[in-house]
Amino acid sequence: MTLPFRFELLRGEAPSGPRRGRAETPHGVFETPCFAPVGTRASVKGILPGQLREAGVSLLLCNTYHLALRPGEDLVREAGGLHRFMAWDGPILTDSGGYQVFSLEGRRTVTDEGVEFAGAEAGAALRLDPRRALEIQRDLGSDIAMVLDECPPHDCPPARLRGAHRRTLLWAERARRVHLEMGGVERGQAVFGILQGGADENLRREAAEVLVGLDFDGYAIGGVSVGEPKETMRRTVEITTPHLPVERLRYLMGVGDPDDLFECALRGIDLFDCVAPTRHGRNNLVFVPEGELKIRNAKFKRDFRPLQEGCPCPACRNHSRAYIRHLALAKEMLAGILQSLHNLRFLQDLMRGLRERLEEGAPEADLREWFRAKYPGWASP
């Protein structure tokens, strides 16, 4: 019997190194390596679902913490689940609220029993524990749910790092029992475990051993993209992926710069998510092969070329750098929309190009040569 969620590894059977795969969910397939835009409150800011499809998006991430506060998981369930509520018929992954443990420090209290968030949004406080986080995600109806974890800052003291690592594993054991009580993956929702441990190889290895023993449907590397240098993040991936089962999907949380997607895919990551393409778009920062364009700069005032020659996105098909700069300076919302659409298409094209070369069996040296030629502004020296 085919399960509602299934990951098939098509190429790359080594413990580490680039991989090509395919994930099947109740709401369709996404090919890996894959980048998922973030629709925090059931909306990728300023972008219609049809525009996401046109950009090549196949998977979205939504936020458990924010949706539990507004509009509430009960209303989403009454509406028929997130897919109907937001008119997106493709796969959805929901995070657990663990990132808010990091981002809302000072407005939450963490114990082994769970997290108490102070009332800062929608006029309400929120309590999350391993069971409650999965109950909310069950009601939201996502295809992939995440266990609750504690995400510490990258520069925290060693004792705090070890504490977050220990607590995350404690919560993972509880969450796994809850997921099985709810019917497991056969119910239609996969659940992924999350590894914490900073850049400590021993903690990452221990996290992998415990979580693999719990037999999750996939595994996520958390605790990155929280202020650490890029090389530290990439090294963390290098020391972690060899300890994860090759047959399960590997997810690097919160990473979205083009160079990081490429480098971490070469290190064995299948799935990424980040707010970067749309947040940068709203802040007038544009991804192009030569690096980044700061579209408000005066040099673009009379630049009537598209953002990127040959790009099929709506911004590049129809508008010039000069026009988009005018919109940005005039604070017109269309500026952020057009730049977001371009950035989304840029990352999807990068992922598609990488998948095509992985299907051909290109070795790492050839992949790096392709990346340097096509994305010279992002390639490592």
According to the model, what pLDDT value does residue 148 have? Answer: 97
Domains of the chain: 6-275 (3.20.20.105)
Question: Which pLDDT tens digit goes with each residue over 214-269?
Answer: 999 999 999 998 989 999 999 999 999 999 999 999 999 999 999 999 999 999 99
Q: Which of 56, 31, 39 is nearest to 348 (CA)?
A: 56
Burial grade of 222 (CB within 10 A; 0-12, 13-18, 19 or more): buried
User: Average of pLDDT values for 79-96?
Assistant: 97
According to the model, what pLDDT value does residue 104 have? Answer: 84
Q: Work out the number of other CB atoms within 10 angstroms of the CB of residue 341.
A: 24
Q: Which of 331, 318, 322, 330 is nearest to 297 (CA)?
A: 322
Local confidence band at 123 (pLDDT 50, 70, 90 cut-offs) = low
Write out the two tokens for 376: 């010279």
Question: Which pLDDT tens digit goes with each residue over 255-295?
Answer: 999 999 999 999 999 999 999 999 999 999 999 999 999 99
Residue keyed to tokens 């020391």:
239
Evaluate if residue 101 carries a pLDDT over 80. Answer: no
Evaluate if residue 3 carries a pLDDT over 70. Answer: no
User: Average of pLDDT values for 306-316?
Assistant: 98
Q: Which of 74, 273, 349, 366 is the catalytic position?
A: 273
Local confidence band at 381 (pLDDT 50, 70, 90 cut-offs) = confident
According to the model, what pLDDT value does residue 122 have? Answer: 53
User: Average of pLDDT values for 111-134?
Assistant: 86
Evaluate if residue 102 carries a pLDDT over 80. Answer: no
Residue 273 designated active-site: yes
Residue keyed to tokens 């005066």:
298
Evaluate if residue 190 carries a pLDDT over 90. Answer: yes
Rounded to whole angstroms, the Cα distance separating 252 from 274 reads 10
Q: Which of 74, 89, 95, 200 is the catalytic position?
A: 95
Residue 260 designated active-site: no
Percent of the chain whose pLDDT exceeds 90:
91
User: Average of pLDDT values for 10-39?
Assistant: 97
User: Average of pLDDT values for 113-132?
Assistant: 84
Cα dihedral sign, 320-323-327-333: negative
Question: Which pLDDT tens digit goes with each residue over 129-180?
Answer: 999 999 999 999 999 999 999 999 889 999 999 999 999 999 999 999 999 9
Rounded to whole angstroms, the Cα distance separating 105 from 120 reads 12
Indicate the average pLDDT of the chain: 95
Local confidence band at 121 (pLDDT 50, 70, 90 cut-offs) = low
Local confidence band at 103 (pLDDT 50, 70, 90 cut-offs) = confident
Local confidence band at 208 (pLDDT 50, 70, 90 cut-offs) = very high
Evaluate if residue 120 carries a pLDDT over 70. Answer: no
Evaluate if residue 2 carries a pLDDT over 60. Answer: no
According to the model, what pLDDT value does residue 1 have? Answer: 42
Evaluate if residue 205 carries a pLDDT over 60. Answer: yes
User: Average of pLDDT values for 99-115?
Assistant: 87
User: Average of pLDDT values for 107-126?
Assistant: 83
